[in-house]
Structure 1
Amino acid sequence: MKTSLKTLVLALSVLSSFVSLSTYALPQGSELKAGAAVWNLFDDADRYALHVAYIHKPLESFFGLRPTVLLVNADQGQHYFAAGVAKDIYEYNDFSVRVAFHAGIVDESENLGYTIEFYSSLAGLYKLTDSFSIEAEIGHISNGGLGDTNPGSESFVLSAHYLF
């Protein structure tokens, strides 16, 4: 548990330094995300993690896809580093629905069956102000059959987003 607390402090420090940057430093429409997750959702829900992500502004010339970078730090010292894309598929007033797909590596792969893992998610976002929104996300991680075993795992993540 001490490792998770250290990671949380580090992640919040990094996020606060990004938030203090001028809005000219990162593209308008980009987001920083920090959230807490429960993993093994449909099994014992016995893993907890911190999710931190950078979500780039939509690329209009690429169907509005948003390049993303994701870091997941689980309570048992497991880390997942990934890059991917997100897409806002529905918007109504301050509410939106987003899907995302990431490909990345996990540093302790014995629980997931392989070093390369894919993370996909479906999220609902609610914009609180022009600068902040909250998100509820359901996700799934799997090695897509690349490993000898493919147990996969589901997560529920609550996050806060800082909007540029």
Structure 2
Amino acid sequence: MKTPLKTLAVALSLLSSFTSLSTHALPQGSELKAGAAAWNVFDDVDRYAMHVAYIHKPLTSFYGLRPTVLLVNADKGQHYYAAGIAKDVYEYESFSVRLAFHAGIVDESENLGDTIEFYSSIAALYNVTDDVSLEAEIGHISNGGLGDTNPGSESFVLSGHYRF
């Protein structure tokens, strides 16, 4: 199976397993996210990927921070597995702005300089309905100087969110 088909199969299987869960078992106000990304957008766009994430409901006792789990599956076989936090920093009617930070591991690190990588992003979300929103995100992945090299890479991601 070609890598893009593997990426699609993994993303769809993850989404279908989440959607088959009873929404009563998951905290109300949480979100599932699936999107497509282009990487190296400020250079020569050399990689495409699927982003899949679970975004927990805001924790009111922790400044509204939202714990997250992120999987990035790139078309050239790289996988990034991360956990982090997100914060909605601006909301107005159907529009909001979200900041996020993740720490995780990448399984093929030769292009990024280290196995441990950090992903930060800023995103604009638009609520289409009470349950569905669209997101445009700009992100940056970097090893924070942990590796011998630290080339970093920027991404542009278009995603759909399902809120339950």
Fold-level similarity (TM above 0.5): yes
How far off is 1:13 after superposition?
Answer: 2.9
Distance 1:146 1:21 in 2: 38
How far off is 1:2 after superposition?
Answer: 1.8
* Alignment-derived partner of residue 29 in structure 1: 29
Distance 1:20 1:93 in 2: 30
Gapped regions of structure 1 (runs ≥ 5):
none
Distance 1:55 1:134 in 2: 14
* Alignment-derived partner of residue 100 in structure 2: 100
Please tell me the residue identity of whatever aligns with 1:41: V
* Alignment-derived partner of residue 75 in structure 2: 75
Paired residues, number: 164
TM-superposition CA deviations, 1:44-90 (whole Å, max 9, x none): 01110000000000000000000000000111000100000000000
TM-score by length of 2: 0.96
* Corresponding residue SS for 2:110: helix
Distance 1:39 1:129 in 2: 29
* Alignment-derived partner of residue 112 in structure 1: 112
Please tell me the residue identity of whatever aligns with 2:141: I
Gapped regions of structure 2 (runs ≥ 5):
none
* Corresponding residue SS for 2:80: strand
Please tell me the residue identity of whatever aligns with 1:87: K
* Corresponding residue SS for 1:138: strand
TM-superposition CA deviations, 1:81-134 (whole Å, max 9, x none): 000000000000010000000000000100000010000000000011111111
* Corresponding residue SS for 2:85: strand
TM-score by length of 1: 0.96
| Matched-pair contact (CA < 8 Å) for 1:19–1:162 | no
Please tell me the residue identity of whatever aligns with 2:89: I
Distance 2:130 2:66 in 1: 19
* Alignment-derived partner of residue 54 in structure 2: 54
Cα-Cα RMSD: 1.1
Structure 1 vs Structure 2: percent identity of aligned residues? 82
**Is 1:162 aligned to 2:146, yes or no?**
no
| Matched-pair contact (CA < 8 Å) for 1:103–1:119 | yes
